[in-house]
Amino acid sequence: MEPGNDTQISAFLLLGLSQALELQPLIFGLFLSMYLITVLGNLLIILAVSSDSHLRTPMYFFLSNLSLVDICFTSTTIPKMLWNIQTQSKAITYEGCITQMYFFILFGGWDIFLLTAMAYDRYVAICYPLHYIVIMNPRLCGLLVLVSWITSVLNSLLETLMVLGLRFCSDLEIPHFFCELNQVVQLACSDTFFNNIIMYFSAGLLGGCPFAGILYSYSRIISSIRAIPSAQGKYKAFSTCASHLSVVSLFYGTVLGVYLSSAVFHSSYSSAIASVMYTVVTPMLNPFIYSLRNKDIKGALERFSGREALQGQLH
């Protein structure tokens, strides 16, 4: 393959989490289990919210969207990884790599925006409880989801188009289990200055601004909770946002951990292993966090399972 001739590129090689053959069955079983738990858990959340009239509120509207995004987010990477382990192949086509990268950035960005919208919802609910129904009306909720979707699509499209303009050399090995944007850009032979500018600008704007919005929302929430005179009132107010705060802490904590560890250790493999936390573990744990800490979700799941069991007996 001639350096700089991108017309001959047919595939990249995903090196995965480990090249040790004896570890492949263990990795396959572990990731298959986590993927199935993620899909099943988030599907149960979606079914519970959609089937229970008590959960037709903004908070659960955003939660059902978050569960859908988590399923899609995980499905962009894990099935291909499992297929490569099963077939003992490391290859991913050039088109497949670009497609995977596009959807990974898309659903990752949408995930961040939804977490921000949920923080705003909790901010309005606690700081302006009397105006909550008026402010968080169905039109605003739908608009927030739509704007999140459009912004994520445009950002993902821009990042992907910038990669399509790159020329790649003969070294096409990606030390990761999916086509991560930064890893793919580092393989390019052509100048990546503008790619890096766009990449860091997008990370700062679409990652930093929502995070700042979440921090502002919770600073106002904490101030409002501290002003509540009774301990029971404080506990009740805090419990309404405890699940969301746990998910936000888990997501941003693992993302920051991945990039800080990669900056310190300068190891692509350690970065790939650490990224499992926010690409696989966090979407898997989200349903458990919301169902275990939320009486409404637990009640809806019990009513849904009871209704399904009754229908099964009738048939």
How far is it, in rounded angstroms, from Cα 148 to Cα 298? 28
How does residue 141 score in pLDDT terms, banded at 50, 70 and 90? very high
Place 92 in a pLDDT band, splitting at 50, 70 and 90: very high
Q: What is the DSSP letter of 3?
A: T
Pairing of strands 91-93, 173-174: unpaired
In the chain, % of residues over pLDDT 90 = 53
Q: What mean pLDDT, rounded, does the chain reach? A: 86
Of 73-77, 79-83, 173-177, the one with minimum mean pLDDT is: 173-177
Q: N- to C-terminal Cα distance for the chain? A: 62
pLDDT of res. 67: 95
228 torsion bin: left (phi>0), alpha (psi -120 to 50), beta (else): beta
d(CA 259, CA 252) in angstroms, rounded, equals: 11
| Domain boundary assignment for the chain | 7-297
Q: What is the mean pLDDT of residues 277-284?
A: 90
pLDDT given for residue 7 in this prediction: 45
Widest distance between CA atoms in the chain: 72
pLDDT (0 to 100) of residue 21: 86
Q: What is the pLDDT of residue 208?
A: 87
Q: 7-297 has which fold?
A: Rhopdopsin 7-helix transmembrane proteins (1.20.1070)
Q: What whole-number distance in Å separates Cα of residue 42 and Cα of residue 289? A: 11
Across residues 31-45, what is the average pLDDT?
Answer: 95
